[in-house]
Amino acid sequence: MRLCSIFILGTAMIAVVMLTGCGGGDGGDTTPPIISSVAVSVPLSFSFEGGPVVISAKVTDAGGVAQVSATISGPGSESPTTVPMSLTSGSTYSGEYTAPENLREDGQAETYSVVIVARDNAGNTSQSEPVTFQVPAPDMPDPPF
């Protein structure tokens, strides 16, 4: 009987140590933040010269949002740019990116892709689907006749 009691007590202690060592056994927060309402706003006067672009998104998480940023990928092989976003109201975060001038000589607009990346207080991350915006083509002179 004594050997059986020691075995049960030892098994129980191992179980407690294992559960505690693995985060307490409750699983912790494994749910990533929810990103919605991603928007990119350009001024009405936006031209081939580029300029400020306001990026916004709603980000929520029951355990709290730790960080939100926008990753902007431009045309060609440019390295992506990361723009930090700040909480502006309620659950809306926003940031500003300065789009460079479109210097293309073929009359084509340049397309940029924006992805919102969010991390919660438990370290879970999520990202939005890409949203795009364009820097218009420069005015091209008419070809000679």
* 3-state DSSP helix/strand/coil % of the chain, to nearest 5: 15, 45, 40
The pLDDT-based confidence of 3 (bands split at 50, 70, 90) is very low
Instruction: Give the lowest-confidence range in 45-49, 87-91, 125-129.
Output: 45-49
What rounded mean pLDDT belongs to the chain?
Answer: 84
Sign of the C-alpha dihedral, residues 22, 28, 31, 32?
negative
**How far apart are the C-alpha atoms of 119 and 128, rounded to whole Å?**
12
Nearest partner of 138 among 112, 114, 110, judged by Cα: 110
The separation between CA 76 and the C-alpha centre of its own chain, rounded to angstroms, equals: 21
Give pLDDT, residue 139: 77
Q: Give the three-class secondary structure for 108.
A: coil
Q: What pTM was estimated for this model as a whole?
A: 0.77
Q: Which of 100, 112, 101 is nearest to 138 (CA)?
A: 101
Grade residue 129 by pLDDT with cuts at 50, 70 and 90: very high
**d(C-alpha 96, C-alpha 53), whole Å:** 6
Query: In the predicted model, is pLDDT for residue 24 greater than 50?
Result: no
The residues, any chain, with a CB within 8 Å of residue 35's CB and separated by 6 or more, are 57, 58, 59, 116, 118, 126, 127, 128
Average pLDDT in the 69-97 region? 94
pLDDT given at position 6: 42
For residue 63, the 8-state DSSP code is T
For 93, 112, 125, 126, the CA distances from 69, given in Å and listed in that order, are: 9, 16, 11, 11
